[in-house]
Structure 1
Amino acid sequence: MTARRDDPQQGELRERILEALHELLRERTFETLSVAEIIAAAGVSRASFYFYFPGKQAALAELVRRAVGQGHEAAQPWLQAEQDPREALRAGVDAGAELWLRNAAVLRAIVESWASDPQLRELWLAQMATFTDAAVARIEADEQVRVENVPALAASLTWTGERLYYLAACGVAPFDDRRVLVDTLTHLWVSALYDG
């Protein structure tokens, strides 16, 4: 009898693969990992791995999409414009820092790999564009903000955040101090949008 994709046991195999990759990324770089190592760590067959993922890039992509989804949740206080924008930005930046710390291995892997792999490049540029697009919409709707070239500013702030969160996830000072990270990113956003 052939198993179906919506079979709970099959879903468990998929999650085991993703968990194994996540754990391996805590110790190794993505480029040094092989599918065989992921399969061994997950305790699944090669057929099971390829049933769900055409390659290790697709498995990483799933982990990245999950982390990015959490990132959009973290940004909601500012995007929804339901509280003071400066306080909402600080809350969102702090939630972003927490997200990057929880998902450091996965997010380091995508940041370190996207430039050299076409699939991962497309994925990461698209994921980052979702943050930029959300920031553009929020900035354009905010009557307190008076800036020119909103798309360029939003992209600059989004990519600056990506880099500083990445440095924090790698334990690079001074951004390994969460307070410094949050203060710095909040200052950049608030200065660019509200104090300019």
Structure 2
Amino acid sequence: MARRDDPQQNGAELRDRILDALRELLRERTFDTLSVAEIITEAGVSRASFYFYFAGKQAVLADLVRDAVGAGHEVAEPWVRAQAGPRQTLRAGIEGGADLWMANAAVLRAIVESWASDPQLRELWLAQMATFTEATIARIEADRQADPAVAAKLSNIDVPALAATLTWTGERLYYLAACGIPPFDDRQTLIDTLTHLWISALYDEEQVSSS
């Protein structure tokens, strides 16, 4: 009978088992308390197989985080690409972000709670958050070019700083929601608050009243 981690098995399946193992363990444990040995046991693979795919537990978490961030960019795409009015696309993106955070709550809580004390995770999370900030800057600059009202509203604003503020505020509120912290554990409150914050910061009411 073949071992569960027999090299003849599909390598992607072995790798996915390791990712799934960490995801499951994080539902009950904090990242800092987990060992590679526990991930190996949960995944049912050998130590050699684990280290063939990952340099350590941080690398496993990094892959899970990158997957979640990629999904986050997908839900934000309609606003980033200006595919409809700002109110509609921002709200849809924020709703998608809320759902994404809840679906990946254990993984995203782990990175938020660990990045400040782990150099590898710090580099990872700052880089991933920067991708959202950069996308926000690009949309703001496009709006400023296309709409004189936006240009006037943001004429004295440091756009990169504003984009980073909006991005990191979203990260914090989604995190609080994922932890079940009131009032953001109420999905509607979370979405309404973030939508109001983004629209108020970037647009005048008349710009979005019909969107």
Scaled to the shorter chain, the TM-score interval is: over 0.9
Q: In the alignment, what sits opposite 2:208?
A: none
Corresponding residue for residue 209 of structure 2: none
Query: Secondary structure of 1:26's partner?
Result: coil
* Partner residue in 2 for 1:12: 13
- Give unmatched runs, 5+ long, in structure 1: 1-5
Aligned residue number for residue 111 of structure 1: 112
Q: Output the CA distance in 2 between the equivalents of 1:128 and 1:38.
A: 26
Question: What is the CA–CA distance in structure 2 between the aligned matches of 1:13 and 1:86, rounded to whole Å?
Answer: 43
The alignment of Structure 1 onto Structure 2 pairs a total of residues equal to 191
Describe how 1:11-160 pairs up with structure 2 within 5 A.
11-142=12-143, 143=147, 144-145=149-150, 146-147=153-154, 148-160=157-169
| One-letter amino acid of the structure 1 residue matched with residue 12 of structure 2 | G
Among 179, 190, 195, the alignment partner of 2:188 is 179
Offset at residue 8 of structure 1 (A): 5.8
Distance 1:169 1:42 in 2: 25
SS at match of 2:10: helix
User: How far apart are 1:7 and its partner, in Å?
Assistant: 6.8
Question: What is the percentage of aligned positions where both structures have the same residue?
Answer: 74
Offset at 1:13? Answer: 0.6
1:3 alignment partner in structure 2? none
Question: Equivalent residue of 1:27, what SS?
Answer: coil
Aligned partner of 2:199 in structure 1 is 190
Alpha-carbon deviation of 1:195? 2.8
TM-score by length of 1: 0.95
* Alignment partners' CA distance in 2, 1:65 and 1:11: 17
Larger Rg: 2
Q: Residue type of the partner of 1:100?
A: W
* 71 and 8 in structure 1: CA distance in 2 versus 1, 3 angstrom threshold: farther
1:160-196 CA distance string (max 9 Å, x none): 0000000000000110000000000000000000138
Q: What TM-score do the two structures reach when normalised by structure 2? A: 0.88
Judged with a 3 Å threshold, the aligned counterparts in structure 2 of structure 1 residues 7 and 68 are, in CA distance, closer, same or farther, namely farther
Q: Distance in 1 between matches of 2:58 and 2:161?
A: 29
DSSP 3-state at the match of 2:180? coil
